[in-house]
Chain A
């Protein structure tokens, strides 16, 4: 156990639906006050995990601990946990203010206190002016604010957000990611957000857990998981990546010599972890970490000759598909302002990379 730092703790949680294992022995620790993202594609078990934390589903095995207390056996209405549902689940027959006050009314607080706290939380999400509207009279973005206000009104110890941006259009989504995270940080609530959108997770979360097939693949701050993926799955899920399959040719002190058929000749990388000669490995290179040049770089950098296959102009960046001599296509990103932004189809160029930018994946 991670001592005082872990606020929510899941231990060996298993959930099955018939034959399908939705959650497969998950252990997880969320720290007090952080925004934690459960990231994964649909069906990876992240929503089941969230519902288990909320108490809406009871796991087959495992325990849920909140601030050291085992809440596994508590029904949802007894847990100091509130959830903002996907597409919000606002009560259609109640006004905005009644929706927000609903949770407070369940606690039988004095009327004046309910009114005061409802006002405060509506103010927080800037919805005080629309307090007497019904959900059907609100736009998607306004509904989201009301849903957030409703789940914050009871000042839960833990806030759960289930795909909070899924019902918004693209432009609003990008704006709300920052605003939502800002509001959550302002009220200092510990928050778990479920999303399939890596950008959303990276923008909003302090730490994230990448999930696949009911298991947690990797946990850590977004920048760390991005820079140091621990598996092919992590590397490919979070951002674009070029993966080169091969094997370890030799271990030479601090360096490994890799045989990667798609890159000509042996490749040297700093030794990392326990790998032995002959072991199959995979080298991951982020497209923006590839250095592109018109002339070959110094021999020490092992430049590779490439031919430009096509170029996509993304505004701030240019996305190239480059063909290596081996016939393998690689992705490369260069800043749109760079003098290399103008390469055209068929032109020859060179790529190289710093050894520290290459990540060796043993799995």
Chain B
């Protein structure tokens, strides 16, 4: 490779690298720094890590915020509840998205593009407006309750809004396209003759699915689950608008620490712990990906 080629390559790979450094790693370092400080009523509302005490520079980092998070059951419960809501929402998304993705992938070509468009179409309007729309649907005087009342199925409006149920509905609704699209991508690439071959070899339909279709679309399922699970865990807007006062989610806690308590160091510690928590499924995913592309699964030449 020529010197020019080397320099060009450095430039091309360098730009996204610099971007990540500047807009991801640097803010992250700031958050870590704040999480190690103490809150104070000042601007900024936290102590410096290096302070001059009695004419000496003194290191003032502390892990107290983390210790506080672990000692207070509220935070632990908020983390656990967030993981639970995210995990269940991911499961519901998967159960809805898989048949949907299959139907789209097996649809004839012109219709297929229309269906795909319909999946992503809602995200062309503001996310906030769509969540408000759900308030209009689920409220005690909302469309759903009015329908149930007029059908005589209930005597008084059901308390739907401001419940965990509404949070699930909101999250599943919002994140469904992120589950449908990766699964669709892996299903549309699936060679349908493999299904026919399995049928021909004596597999009934459900075994074709379990032993051929599902394993071969695993990459899409995993990607979809991560795309739903990770943002759902830290979700703030949906539990805030649709959830009740007792809906405990870590995103809400984070918001309250920052804006209500103005305790930036604790809020930062909450964020860092959340990140650490979400790193785990990410790492599992990457290990899986590495295993999938390890020798023995790749297309070998010759």
Taking Cβ atoms with an 8 Å cutoff, the residues of A that contact B are 54-56, 75-78, 81-83, 85-87, 89-93, 102-103, 106-107, 134, 136-137, 139, 150-151, 154
Contact = CB atoms under 8 A, between A and B. Distances in A.
Contact of B199 (A75, A87, A90): A75
A134 B296 contact: yes
B201 interface: yes
23 contacts: A55-B200, A76-B199, A77-B199, A77-B200, A77-B202, A82-B200, A82-B201, A85-B197, A87-B193, A89-B197, A90-B197, A93-B215, A93-B216, A93-B297, A102-B198, A102-B203, A103-B202, A106-B202, A107-B202, A134-B297, A136-B300, A137-B296, A137-B300
A83 B296 contact: no
Given A89-B191, A93-B215, A139-B302, A56 B200 contact: yes
A73 to B, nearest CB: 15
A85 B201 CA distance: 11
B169 interface: no
A83 B191 CA distance: 16
B121 interface: no
Given A56-B196, A107-B202, 7 more contacts: A54-B200, A56-B199, A89-B193, A91-B194, A93-B215, A103-B201, A151-B200
Nearest to A54: B200
B71 to A, nearest CB: 47
B13 interface: no
Nearest to B211: A102
Interface string B74-92: 0000000000000000000
A102 B216 contact: no
Nearest to B297: A134
A141 B201 CA distance: 21
A150 B193 CA distance: 15
Contacts of B207: 106
Given A89-B194, A134-B297, A137-B300, A76 B200 contact: yes
Closest 3 pairs between A and B when the two form their complex, measured CB to CB: A103-B201, A106-B202, A89-B197
Contact of B201 (A56, A75, A139, A154): A154
B212 interface: yes
User: Which residue of B194, B197, B203 has the most chain A CB atoms within 10 A of its CB atom?
Assistant: B197
B151 interface: no
A90, A134, A139, A150: which has the most chain B beta carbons within 10 Å?
A: A134
Interface in B262-302: 296-300, 302
Nearest to B194: A89
A139 B299 CA distance: 11
Interface in B172-205: 191, 193-194, 196-204
Best-buried of B191, B201, B302 by chain A (most CB within 10 Å)? B201
A86 B200 CA distance: 14
Given A85-B193, A89-B196, A92-B216, A150 B297 contact: no
Nearest to A82: B200
Nearest to B198: A102
Given A89-B191, A106-B207, A83 B300 contact: no
Given A56-B196, A106-B207, A136 B297 contact: yes
Most buried by A among B193, B204, B302: B193
